[in-house]
Amino acid sequence: MARRSFVAGNWKMNKTPEETRALVAALRETLAGYTSGDVAVFPAFPCLIPAAEVLRGSNIGVGAQNIYWEKSGAFTGEVSGPMIVGSGCQYVICGHSERRQFFSETDQTVNKRIKAALSFNLKVIACVGESKDERLKNVTRDVVKRQVEGALAGLTAEQMSQLTVAYEPIWAIGTGLTATPAQAQEVHVLIRGLIKEQFGTGISDALRIQYGGSVKPENARELLHQPDIDGALVGGASLVAADFAAIVRAAK
């Protein structure tokens, strides 16, 4: 089944509001007329409104890097669905490995965030992936299975149509290491199989699964042309307009 590619740029804790305006303006110009797949950028929270303003009416979406599961309340430092929607976003990332590693995210809290995002009609990128130690211990399958099943617990088939899964081997994020195309494809097949078991063939065939982990213009084409890799969640390379645009164009 042909799936429309999806390339997303996770800016993490980079770029001021003014730097954001400059970068998204460059992306808007560079990717003008691009219609072969979906593209989105995920700036830090203070930069969402500037990004959305510059990109309004373009072919590039805007998303937040996280979401809290309550609509409002005494939750200092958190950001809710209505705030994200009101900032002009269409997407949100849930369960990134850095959130799990540094901020005590669990499969259960990731699931709550995903459900909150979907309840506000935000499209979700749900991240899964194993650490270097887990890969060396040959438990990648067990880790990814637990994360997929935990993150998607209780979702309906209709909700799944608003979701993308990103496979990000933790050992390849920001390290310069990259899973080989064969390694990445193997885990993408595993994820699609898990979705088939949980939701059926129609959902699994339609699901977009991105690869993330030191994706660069130099390796993008070979990675993104694997049969089950439907795009990329890009970190550092998304901070340079020319590099991110090259990855977007490399997607099948």
Task: Tell whether pTM > 0.85.
Answer: yes
- Reported as a single tens digit per residue, the pLDDT across 27-55 is 999 999 999 999 999 999 999 999 999 99
- Reported as a single tens digit per residue, the pLDDT across 84-115 is 999 999 999 999 999 999 999 999 999 999 99
Burial class (CB in 10 A: 0-12, 13-18, 19+), 82: exposed
| Closest C-alpha to 177, from 215, 127, 203, 129 | 215
Determine which one of 98, 134, 168, 188 is catalytic: 168
Determine which one of 78, 96, 130, 188 is catalytic: 96
- Reported as a single tens digit per residue, the pLDDT across 187-196 is 999 999 999 9
- Is 197 considered catalytic here? no
- Is 96 considered catalytic here? yes
- pLDDT < 70: residue spans in the chain: 1
5-250: which CATH topology?
TIM Barrel (3.20.20)
**Domains in the chain: boundaries:** 5-250
